[in-house]
Structure 1
Amino acid sequence: MSVLDAVGNTPLIRLTRVTAGIDAAVHLKAEFLNPGGSVKDRAALSMVDAAEATGELRPGGVIVEGTSGNTGIGLAMIAAQRGYRALVVVPDKSSGEKLAALRAYGAEVIVTTGGVTREDPRHVSQIAARLAAETPGGWLAGQYDNPANPGAHYATTGPEIWRQTGGRVTHFVAGVGTGGTISGAGAYLRETGAVTVVGADPENSVYGGGDGSPYYVESIGHYVHPDTTEDVWPQSYDPKVADRIERVGDRESIEMTRRLAREEGILVGASTGTAVVAALRVARELGPDGLVVVLAPDSGRAYLSKYFDDGWLRRTGFPAPAVPGPLIGDGPVRPAVLAPITGRAGDLPAGPGVALLLLPRTQRAGTGPAPGDVAGSVPLGGAAAADTPLAALAEPAPPTAGVHEPVADALARTPADARWLAVLTDGRITGVIARADYFR
């Protein structure tokens, strides 16, 4: 028996406190108990087994993948056990804990810029494909389009849920990332019994009808850069499997993630928080005969520096335990002036103040743009001619400060020469502050 024999057969855990007032039973499929710490161990093993069977991956070969972290960890674990090298490309938004885990397994980690178009040579998928092609013995796992990804869940996850519930499961809820889990397990459960399949998706993700703008929950949803030429969905995702999609905001997801740790004793990532919020919505519609199974993709140990860190919450504008003020939101916060970077100086209002320049075709939620949408800034009230392109006047985008962050902390960690700070509320820019207002 090897460590790979421990992949799968994860338990169901009944939620008992966050479900207060709900008649239906809600059980968590504890995928964080896989040996690599996530549901992605299943897909990783399935993809490697399939590639070995076809000869695409040969002894002494190199496993290459682009990933937010979890699939790479699963592949690195398998590579270590079976004697392969692992090259893993991750975006810079992935948690430090995931990068450390990858390196602990011996993987070679390439960190690249996140939030770029799929066509950009810096994109995770572009770098991974190039490395696989250039590396002798290289094999690209390609989880987004590899049929062995949903195949793993059709063969294992779905049957386990059916067996563990004695066929009584009525609803299956899972987040949508590559789409492999919900497509595979959902298809099996729908074919085997009258099971309703529900996708859980970040509010801004395009899977559920969002605008594709950035969000803060890792390893779930589908982001679309505003300059993307063509929005390509993963072949691993079959949208027809889900009977409905529940959209969940970042704040709800993060708050539920923290509640699960403190009320249920279950330490999971924020994508589980997203899925549990969706599952509780579903469960509230059901009577005592309802049995909801919600999939928990990974462990919260991969996010201790993010969702469970009070300082991170304050810096990004999410609610956190109270601290002595004054807080950023207590001071003179000014409305954010937004302008397209393709505009002209004459389009700006008179000063004083600063305009935040947005990427072309940026779509914004009603709460304001995400920091990644801002391409630069221009002081208002300048002397430039009206027809001067804003791009020619652009200064760097201002640093950000959370609305619940102590002023002293925000000013201490941002450059002293930054005249303006963009204020974040729930991760979105809702205003600006002038450093001069705090040093008179």
Structure 2
Amino acid sequence: MTALVGRTPLVRLRRVVRGAPAAVLVKVEAANPAGSSKDRAALSMVRAAEASGALAPGGVIFEGSSGNTGIALAMIGAALGYRVVVVVPDRSSQEKLALLRAYGAEVVVTPALLPAEHPDQVRALAARLAAETPGGWYAGQYDNPANVDAHYSTTGPEIWAQTEGRVTHLVAGIGTGGTLTGAGRYLREVSGDRVQVVGADPESSVFGGGSGRPHLVEATGRFVHPQTRADVWPRSFDPAVTTGMRRVPDRAAIMTTRALAREEGLLVGASGGLAVAAAVALAHTLGPDDVVVAVAPDSGRSYLSKYFDDEWVSQRGFGPDGGPAPAVAPASETIAHTTTVEQARVALGQGHALPVVLRQADQGEPVAVAQIIGSVSLDGLRAAAPEELVADHLGPALPLAGAHEPVSAVRERLAQAHDAVVVTHDGLVVAVLPVSELDSRAEVIGDLVP
């Protein structure tokens, strides 16, 4: 199977680029045997570790991964005879977890939204387990030079050859930064610095200058937990290779992902939709001689229960056209994870349950759905000490309802235990409504928002 890694196709887009003067081509990394661009990095890292002696015969491969690198290592481990243990965040798609187990990997699930210094943070836990296991080797994709080398030696040369040297712009998302750094460095060198290398980044990611709050596009961008003391960027990402950045809202990334499937017959993940959204926007600013290559890291098959599920998308407030944006929720509609039980009791009063969120430093920012880590109610705090934090007494997250959704449809899917719903628009929290208010004669949820 390892011989099948690489040599993935380029596909020219026809419909989602309507009106753009420049051509947009997509590097379809789902054609790799385990289904993503991480096959390249995983194989490169394993071969380098074998050569150095860090991974010996009978050794155990460990990695912290949102899914794709773990899946690639699991496939390679199965092919080469290594046991593989993958630590994944609890927000990874169920499809990715199933793929890991299908290849025989052992899966360790840990909370996604932990500070970098927490011992159970994804990468910290994987590194610790490797250190504690005889023969254990931690791949460490974020800081492993073999990650960048893989894309410098394969992805970049393939793009150059496939476009016959006509590529003018490379657009890729930044997760570890390996693809953008490796392929981008090669293309800049081989073209005499003619090729522009553009990072596509979720709007809230710190790579592109965002606040670092969580976002909905998996496997790209950089989230920074409010309690992280020092945000150390991956060594696999060299910002000096980039010539520009484009920040992409979750809505644009998700809607582009869905459009690629329905208008181009191209089923890719949302990190691919993110890159294509940035590439199409860029193509509208260029001329007919320009050729933009966007990297789609994986297949949409890993996200059928998320970005391609109409209910998942609708409940997060991504209506067909977005519609008019309601005002974002005031701070009183949510409770920060650092709130004490005593403070939370005051905020709750005698009202309905409220969502608990990871609050960023900028209190003026809207709260994103991806920031919600649970809920809190007076009943749930009854036995808690006043000085404790609400983060230690979380109830299940409140149900979500898109502002465009019919009130009747939302009411039908609510469980008896829920006394409130979180109203969303474009992935943001716009209100928290008591269930009792859903009995009004309003047609859509947004009509109930003050």
State TM-score, norm by structure 2.
0.86
Distance 1:348 1:94 in 2: 32
Partner of 2:445: none
Alignment partner of 1:210: what SS? coil
Distance 1:97 1:352 in 2: 38
Structure 1 residue 378: deviation in Å? 6.1
Alignment partner of 2:108: what SS? strand
Distance 1:138 1:334 in 2: 47
Structure 1 residue 284: deviation in Å? 1.0
1:257 pairs with 2:287: no
Root-mean-square deviation (CA), in Å?
A: 2.9
Structure 1 residue 369: deviation in Å? 3.9
- Whether the aligned pair in 2 keeps the contact of 1:143 and 1:236 (CA below 8 Å) is yes
Matches within 5 A, 1:40-439: 40-193=38-191, 194-319=194-319, 337-338=333-334, 340=336, 341-342=338-339, 344=343, 358-359=357-358, 361-363=360-362, 366-370=365-369, 372-373=371-372, 376-377=375-376, 391=389, 396=395, 399-403=398-402, 404-407=404-407, 410-411=410-411, 414-438=414-438
- Whether the aligned pair in 1 keeps the contact of 2:115 and 2:224 (CA below 8 Å) is yes
Change (3 A) 1:369 1:390: farther
Deviations 1:47-104 (A, max 9, x none): 0010000011111111110000000111111101101101011111111111111111
Residue identity matched to 1:135 = T
Deviations 1:100-138 (A, max 9, x none): 111111111111111111111221112101110111211
Candidates 20, 27, 30, aligned match of 1:29: 27
Distance 1:45 1:365 in 2: 44
Distance 2:395 2:81 in 1: 46
Residue identity matched to 2:17 = T
Alignment partner of 1:74: what SS? helix
- Whether the aligned pair in 2 keeps the contact of 1:14 and 1:25 (CA below 8 Å) is yes
Alignment partner of 1:254: what SS? helix
Change (3 A) 1:283 1:365: farther
* Unpaired segments ≥5 residues, structure 1: 323-328, 380-387
Structure 1 residue 191: deviation in Å? 1.0
Partner of 2:381: none
Candidates 8, 11, 22, aligned match of 2:9: 11
Structure 1 residue 438: deviation in Å? 3.7
Structure 1 residue 158: deviation in Å? 0.6
Structure 1 residue 397: deviation in Å? 6.8
- Whether the aligned pair in 2 keeps the contact of 1:368 and 1:428 (CA below 8 Å) is yes
Distance 1:190 1:334 in 2: 45
Distance 1:220 1:123 in 2: 17
State TM-score, norm by structure 1.
0.88
Structure 1 residue 421: deviation in Å? 2.1
Deviations 1:297-318 (A, max 9, x none): 0000110111111011122222
Deviations 1:343-373 (A, max 9, x none): 7479859876666555465546744343535
* Unpaired segments ≥5 residues, structure 2: 379-385, 441-450
Deviations 1:223-242 (A, max 9, x none): 11111111111110001111
Distance 1:349 1:233 in 2: 38
- Whether the aligned pair in 2 keeps the contact of 1:67 and 1:89 (CA below 8 Å) is yes
- Size of the aligned set, in residue pairs, is 423
Deviations 1:184-223 (A, max 9, x none): 0001111111100000000111100111111110110001
Identity of aligned pairs, percent?
53
Alignment partner of 2:25: what SS? strand
- Whether the aligned pair in 2 keeps the contact of 1:345 and 1:390 (CA below 8 Å) is no
Distance 2:126 2:296 in 1: 27
